[in-house]
Chain A
Amino acid sequence: EVQLVESGGGLVQPGRSLRLSCTASGFTFGDYAMSWFRQAPGKGLEWVGLIRRKAYGGTTEYAASVKGRFTISRDDSKSIAYLQMNSLKTEDTAVYYCTRDREVRVGELFYHYYYYMDVWGKGTTVTVSS
């Protein structure tokens, strides 16, 4: 069974750091890009960032709201994706979800890749408060 399990959430003071983990099972982790999303209480869904698979350089992209503060990394040997969150703000309070991202390749000589999210974890709650 394909499964993603987030962990590492909790209560943290503003300005502090927290690292979330996303442990994958049931599929070949290294073959997929992975993303993080969040959902503030009572609000909609917001993309946080993405990390491509190592075959494409393992490059990352981030939402403007977290760029420079959050870092995504991956350990394919352990099937874990990480979200390192620094300089946390109260507005970072949310449920954080990791996702497995399915790739769509377009083009012939030069490829462009699109990603949509086909598997979601149950989420882990991060509360930033003094």
Chain B
Amino acid sequence: DIQMTQSPSTLSASVGDRVTITCRASQSISSWLAWYQQKPGKAPKLLIYDASSLESGVPSRFSGSGSGTEFTLTISSLQPDDFATYYCQQYNRAWTFGQGTKVEIK
């Protein structure tokens, strides 16, 4: 199985901050990586696919980068609606997720 490791597990930030979340794969997954946002009691929402492609309707303050084994999700200017848990997911071989990064209010 391909293991996905996110860091940090929790991130405290303020509105307007630039936020970066890192995701590492246990082996190369090329660019087969997605990022999801999940709020409490809600389903995950697709933000980024193919490592850097922005899903339609997702604000442009979200961006993704990386390939191989190292990936990042960046929120350029954190908004009140962005406080949530973020998951990376590889789809190179089966589907596995990172453990999640909770972005909370500082």
Contacts and interface: CB of A to CB of B under 8 A. Distances in A.
Interface of A: 35, 37, 44-47, 50, 61, 63, 97, 102, 104, 114-123
Majority secondary structure, B binding face: loop
B46 A63 contact: no
Question: Chain B interface residue count: which class?
Answer: 20 to 34
A47 B95 contact: yes
Majority secondary structure, A binding face: strand
A117 B46 contact: yes
A114 B89 contact: no
Contacts of B97: 44-47
Nearest to B44: A120
Contact of B44 (A45, A50, A61): A45
Interface of B: 32, 34, 36, 38, 42-46, 49-50, 55, 87, 89, 91-92, 94-100
Contact of B49 (A116, A119, A122, A123): A116
A44 B36 CA distance: 12
Given A44-B99, A116-B49, A118-B55, A97 B91 contact: no
